[in-house]
Amino acid sequence: MIRRTLLATAAAGLTLAFGAPAIAQDTTKACFVYVGPIGDGGWTYQHHQGALALKEEYGDKVEIAYQESVPEGADAERVITQMALSGCNIIFTTSFGYMDPTNNVAAKFPDVKFEHATGYKREHPNVSTYNARFYEGRAVVGHIAGKMTQTNKIGYIGSFPIPEVIMGINSYYHHAKLANPEVELVVTWAYTWFDPAKEADAARAMLDQGVDVITAHTDSTAPLAEIAKEGGSAWGFGQASDMAAFTTNDDGTPGPRIASIIDEWSPYYIKRVGALMDGTYEQIDSWAGMPEGEVVIGTMNDAIPDDVKAEAQAMIDAITAGEYHPFTGPMNKQDGSAWLAEGETADDGTLLGMDFYVEGITGDIPN
Amino acid sequence: MIRLEKRPQPSRAWTVATPILAVILTMIFGGIMFSLIGTSPFEAIRTIFWDPLFHPQFAAFSRPQLLVKAGPLILIAIGLSIGFRAGIWNIGAEGQYIIGAICGAAAGLALYPMESALILPLMIVAGALGGWAWAMIPALLKVRFGTNEILVSLMLVYVAENLLASVSSGILRNPEGMGFPGSRNLSQWSSSQNLELIPNTGMHLGVLTAFIAVILAYVLLTRHIQGYNIRLTGEAPRAAKFAGVSPARTILFCLGTAGVLAGMAGLFEVTGPAGQVSIDFGSGYGFTAIIVAFLGRLHPVGILLAGLLMALTYIGGELAQLMLGVPGASIQLFQGMLLFFLLGVDVLTNYRVRFGASEVA
C-alpha cells in the first residue's frame, strides 16, 4: 500500500509537470464549471444553453461535460484540475470567483485551454477571458423604464458595488433620463447575486417608496414575482435569462416582465471551440455585446406602447450596427465635473474600472 | 410484530458493523436511484467510492485532495464534538470559521508586502483568536444571561456572512483588483501561503493541525480530568454540579475550544486552498462539520474516519458528475442517503430487534 502510494505520487508529479496526458483527438472535449444549478433560470441556465448550442452546432465532433453548483472557494481549483485530468481540451469557468483557481490550474496544464468568464487575469498563454457588454442592454431597458414610469421613480437592485454593476446603473439611468427628464433613480444594494428572499425584500422596499419600474442586477425571478403583486401598476425586466414565464399573467393581461436582457453565450462558445478545432485558436480578452449577438433584448410585451417599442428597437438596431455607444457625451460625473464631451464615447478602460455615478443620481456608492 | 428492546449497554459488535451496513444500504438504494435516472448503478458507485482512491488517471491527484477536503471538516468537528459531549450545542462553527479567516487575513494583510517567516504564525494566532472571540459571544451570553447558545451561535453565522461580504468589498479588498470584491491572494504571497508540507500529499498545516487535534482530543476525553468533567456534564449534569464542576467554566472551555479550532480551520483555508477572502469564502464547512461530528459518534477517531468518508463522497460525487454526467442534485441525494442510513441503523447499536407478539402489558 505504501509503495503504491509513492508510485502514484510520483505519477502525479509527472502529470502535473508535463500537462495532461496526450489523448488521441477524434473529438474535442469542452467542459464547463457552473456556479449554480443548470435550472437556476438565470446566469448558469444561460451558460448551459450556450453549452447545449455548442453541442448542437458541432454534433459528434464535440463532447461536452459540466459540473453544477461548484462553490467559488477552495473547491473550484480541485474541480477544474479534475476536468483537466479527465481529458477536457477547453474548460470554461463561468463565474468571477473562479479567476485565481483557473489561472493556478492553467499553469499546470499548458496544453489545455482555459476560458474564464468576467475576470481580468490572464497569467498564462492558455488563459483567455470573456465577458459581455451588458450595459448595452441596460441602455435599452433604461429607455423603456423612463417612458413607462408614471411616478417618475425607477429602481435598480444592485448586487455588489463593483464596476460591472455601476456601469449598468449609469447606463440605465442615463437612458431613462434622456427619455424622461423628470426621472429619479432609487438604488438598493442586495449584497448577493442570488437570494430570492433578499431580492424580493429589495423590490418590496422600492415599490413601497413609489418606484414603479425596477430592473435587477441579481439572478433570481423573485423581484418579478414581487412586482406582479402590484397587479399591473409596476413593471420589471427579465435579467440574464428571458424569464418569459412573467410575460403574461394567467388572465391574459401583460405580466410584470415587459422586456428582458438575455446573456447569449452560444456565439462565443461556438466561435472559440470552432477555432480550437481548426487550429486558429489564440489567447484573447473578449468583450462583445449586441453586434456579436451576445447581449439580446427579449420580446417586449404589450404593456409597452407601440411607439416606445419602436424607439427601443431603433436603439437596439443602432447599437447592433455599431452606430451608437450607450456612453456618448455630453455626460458629467455625479459631482458635476465633465466626463465625456459632446459626441465623445467612453473608452473600455474607464468602463471596466467605473467607480463613479453619472450626474443626476443621488446617493453614494457604498465604500 | 417487530419490537425494539433497549439493550442494557450499546452493542460493541453493532457499533462496528452499523457504518458498514449503512454504506451497503446506501449503495443499494443509491444504485436504484442511479439506474432510475439512466446511469449504470455499478459504474456510478464505483466512480464515487473507488475512483477517487484508485482510478489510474485521477487517483494520484484526488487521493491527496481527500486530506485537503477532510482537514477543515475534521478540525472543526473535533472542536464541536467536545461541546456536544457536554451538551453544549454550538451550531455556529461556520461563523467562527469565517471570522477566523477574516481576522487572520487582516493581521497578515496589514503587514503586506513585508516578507517574514513570522507572518504566517501571527496570522494563525489571529485566526484562532478571531474564532475564539466569536464563540465567546454565545458563551458569555449563556453564562451571564442564560441565553440559548444554539440560537445565538446560529444567528451569528449570518452576521459573520454579512461581515465577510462587507470586508471583501471594503477594507480587505485587493487594491489592485480593479474594484472587484475579494482580498489579495494569500496563497500567492510567500509570507502567508500555507503550502503542502510534502509535495503532492495534500498535507498542509491545516491537515497536520487536524491530526494533532484528533490526538489531543482523544487524550483530553480519555485521560484528562477536564475531559471527564465534560463527559460528566453531558451525561449527568446534576452529578457534575455535585462533583464541583463549574457549568460556566465548562461552557467557556467548550465553546472557546470550538471557536479556536474553527477559526484556525478558516485561516488555513484562506491561506491555502481558498487563497483569498471573498464573498463566497464560507462554503458551509461549519455546518458539514456538525454532520461529521455526529457521523463520527463524537469520538475523535470516529470523526477522523467520518471526515475522510465525507470528503470521499464529495470528490467521488464530483467525478461522477464529470465522467457520467449525473446531475449535481443526485449526488446530494446520495450523500443524504448515506447520512440517513448511518444515523438510522444506529438504532441497532442501542436496541435489540425482537420478532413475535409483544408481552401483555
Let me know whether B215 and B353 are in one domain: no
**Architecture of the domain delimited by A134-264+293-352:** 3-Layer(aba) Sandwich (3.40)
Residues 6+ positions from B188 with CB-CB distance below 8 Å: A100, B275
CB atoms B200 and A367 under 8 Å: no
Q: From CA A203, how far away is CA A229, in angstroms rounded?
A: 11
Let me know whether B139 and B11 are in one domain: no
- Distance of alpha carbon A170 from the chain centroid: 16
CB atoms A75 and B283 under 8 Å: yes
Do A219 and A40 form a contact (C-beta atoms < 8 A)?
yes
Residues 6+ positions from B55 with CB-CB distance below 8 Å: B62, B319
Return the closest-CA partner of residue A79 out of A65, A92, A67, A64.
A67
CB atoms B278 and A161 under 8 Å: no
Q: Is A248 helix (H, G, I), strand (E, B) or coil?
A: strand
Cell of B24: 451497503
Q: From CA B94, how far away is CA A102, in angstroms rounded?
A: 26
Q: Interior CA angle at B267 toward B264 and B270, to 5°?
A: 150
Report strand pairing: A257-263 vs A235-240: parallel
* Closest residue on chain A to B275 (Cα): A74
Q: From CA B109, how far away is CA A295, in angstroms rounded?
A: 39
CB atoms B61 and A77 under 8 Å: no
Task: Indicate the pTM of the whole model.
Answer: 0.85
Report yes or no on B198 lying in a domain: yes
Report yes or no on B68 lying in a domain: yes
Q: From CA A154, how far away is CA A146, in angstroms rounded?
A: 8
Let me know whether B308 and B337 are in one domain: no
Q: Where are the alpha helices (DSSP H) in chain A?
A: 2-18, 43-58, 75-85, 99-108, 134-148, 163-179, 196-208, 222-228, 266-278, 306-320, 348-352
* Closest residue on chain A to B184 (Cα): A100
* Full DSSP string of A23-35: ---SSEEEEEE-S
Q: From CA B187, how far away is CA B177, in angstroms rounded?
A: 16
Distance from CA of B131 to the nearest CA of A (A): 19
* Closest residue on chain B to A8 (Cα): B60
Let me know whether B221 and B308 are in one domain: yes
Residues 6+ positions from A168 with CB-CB distance below 8 Å: A134, A135, A138, A156, A217
Cross-strand bridge partners of residue A130: A117, A286
Residues 6+ positions from B64 with CB-CB distance below 8 Å: A9, A12, B196, B200, B201, B202, B203
A19 shares contact with chain B (CB less than 8 Å)? no
Let me know whether B1 and B115 are in one domain: no
Distance from CA of B276 to the nearest CA of A (A): 8
* Full DSSP string of B192-243: T---BSSTTS--BHHHHHHHHHHHHHHHHHHH-HHHHHHHHHHH-HHHHHHT
Cell of B6: 433497549
Return the closest-CA partner of residue B22 out of B336, B301, B316.
B336
Do B75 and B261 form a contact (C-beta atoms < 8 A)?
yes
* Tens-binned pLDDT, residue by residue, of chain B (361 aa): 788 888 888 888 888 788 889 889 999 999 999 999 999 999 999 999 999 999 888 888 999 999 999 999 999 999 999 999 999 999 999 999 999 999 999 999 999 888 888 999 999 999 999 999 999 999 999 999 999 999 999 999 999 999 998 898 889 988 887 777 889 988 888 888 888 888 888 889 999 999 999 999 999 998 888 888 888 888 888 888 888 888 899 999 999 999 999 999 999 999 998 889 988 888 889 999 998 998 888 999 999 999 999 999 999 999 999 889 899 899 999 989 988 998 888 888 888 888 876 555 4
Residues 6+ positions from B158 with CB-CB distance below 8 Å: B95
CB atoms A86 and B329 under 8 Å: no
Cell of A95: 463565474
Q: From CA A74, how far away is CA B315, in angstroms rounded?
A: 13
Q: Show residues of chain B in contact with A13, CB under 8 Å.
A: 199-200
CB atoms within 10 A of CB B9: 8
Let me know whether B167 and B184 are in one domain: yes
A63 shares contact with chain B (CB less than 8 Å)? no
Q: From CA A73, how far away is CA A4, in angstroms rounded?
A: 31
CB atoms A12 and B327 under 8 Å: no
Return the closest-CA partner of residue B73 out of B315, B306, B278.
B306
Q: What is the pLDDT of residue B2?
A: 80
CB atoms B274 and A13 under 8 Å: no
Do A297 and A325 form a contact (C-beta atoms < 8 A)?
no
Nearest to A15 among B60, B314, B329 (CB): B60
Let me know whether B64 and B101 are in one domain: yes
- Distance of alpha carbon A186 from the chain centroid: 22
Q: Which residues of B39-56 are buried (b: 16+ CB within 10 A; e: fewer)?
A: bebeebbebbbebbeebe
Cα-Cα end-to-end distance for chain A: 55
Phi, psi values for residue A263, rounded to 5°: -85, 115
Report yes or no on B196 lying in a domain: yes
Do A256 and A77 form a contact (C-beta atoms < 8 A)?
no
Q: Is A93 helix (H, G, I), strand (E, B) or coil?
A: strand
Q: Show residues of chain B in contact with A73, CB under 8 Å.
A: 269, 273-274, 278, 280-283
Return the closest-CA partner of residue A294 out of A324, A265, A333, A319.
A265
Q: Show residues of chain A in contact with B315, CB under 8 Å.
A: 78
Do B286 and B97 form a contact (C-beta atoms < 8 A)?
yes
A residues 92-131 closer than 8 Å to B (CB): 96-97, 100-101, 120
Cell of B227: 475531559
What are the tens digits of pLDDT across the range A139-185?
Answer: 999 999 999 999 999 999 998 888 889 999 999 999 999 999 999 99
Q: From CA B20, how far away is CA B351, in angstroms rounded?
A: 18
Report yes or no on B7 lying in a domain: yes
Do A279 and A315 form a contact (C-beta atoms < 8 A)?
no
Cross-strand bridge partners of residue B166: none
What are the tens digits of pLDDT across the range A248-297?
Answer: 888 888 899 999 999 999 999 999 999 999 999 999 999 999 999 999 99
Q: From CA B139, how far away is CA B258, in angstroms rounded?
A: 11
Let me know whether B24 and B72 are in one domain: no
Q: From CA A262, how far away is CA B168, in angstroms rounded?
A: 28
A280 shares contact with chain B (CB less than 8 Å)? no
Q: At what angle do helices B93-109 and B149-169 cross, to 10 degrees?
A: 30
For the four alpha carbons of B185, B186, B187 and B191, in that order, the dihedral sign comes to: positive
Distance from CA of A282 to the nearest CA of B (A): 24
Distance from CA of B146 to the nearest CA of A (A): 32
* Closest residue on chain A to B181 (Cα): A162
Report yes or no on B300 lying in a domain: yes
CATH number for the domain including B246? 1.10.3470
Beta strands in chain B (DSSP E): 2-6, 351-355
Please give the residue range of the domain that contains residue B337: 1-39+331-361
Let me know whether B315 and B338 are in one domain: no
CB atoms A65 and B200 under 8 Å: no
Distance from CA of B158 to the nearest CA of A (A): 13
Q: From CA A327, how far away is CA B313, in angstroms rounded?
A: 50
A residues 160-199 closer than 8 Å to B (CB): 160-163, 191-192
Return the closest-CA partner of residue B310 out of B68, B16, B90.
B68
Number of domains in chain B: 2
Let me know whether B77 and B154 are in one domain: yes
* Closest residue on chain A to B64 (Cα): A9
Q: At what angle do helices B205-223 and B247-271 cross, to 10 degrees?
A: 160
Say which CATH superfamily domain A27-132 falls into: Response regulator (3.40.50.2300)
Q: Show residues of chain A in contact with B180, CB under 8 Å.
A: 96, 120, 162-163
For the four alpha carbons of B296, B299, B303 and B309, in that order, the dihedral sign comes to: negative
Let me know whether B221 and B355 are in one domain: no
Distance from CA of A138 to the nearest CA of B (A): 20
A71 shares contact with chain B (CB less than 8 Å)? yes
Q: From CA B256, how far away is CA B246, in angstroms rounded?
A: 15
* Closest residue on chain A to B202 (Cα): A9
Residues 6+ positions from B24 with CB-CB distance below 8 Å: none
Q: Given this chain, do its domains A27-132 and A134-264+293-352 carry the same CATH topology?
A: yes
Mutate to test the interface with A, among B278, B318, B322 (most CBs of A within 10 A): B322
Where do the structural domains in chain A lie, given as residue ranges?
Answer: 27-132, 134-264+293-352
- Look up residue A201 and give its amino acid: D
* Tens-binned pLDDT, residue by residue, of chain A (367 aa): 343 444 344 444 444 444 444 444 579 999 999 998 888 778 999 999 999 999 999 999 999 999 998 988 778 999 999 999 999 999 999 998 899 999 999 999 999 999 999 988 999 999 999 999 999 999 999 999 999 999 999 999 998 888 889 999 999 999 999 999 999 999 999 888 888 899 999 999 999 999 999 999 998 899 999 999 998 899 999 999 999 999 988 888 889 999 999 999 999 999 999 999 999 999 999 999 999 999 999 999 999 999 999 999 999 999 999 999 999 989 999 999 999 999 999 999 899 889 899 999 999 988 6
Let me know whether B293 and B345 are in one domain: no
Return the closest-CA partner of residue A92 out of A218, A217, A273, A221.
A273
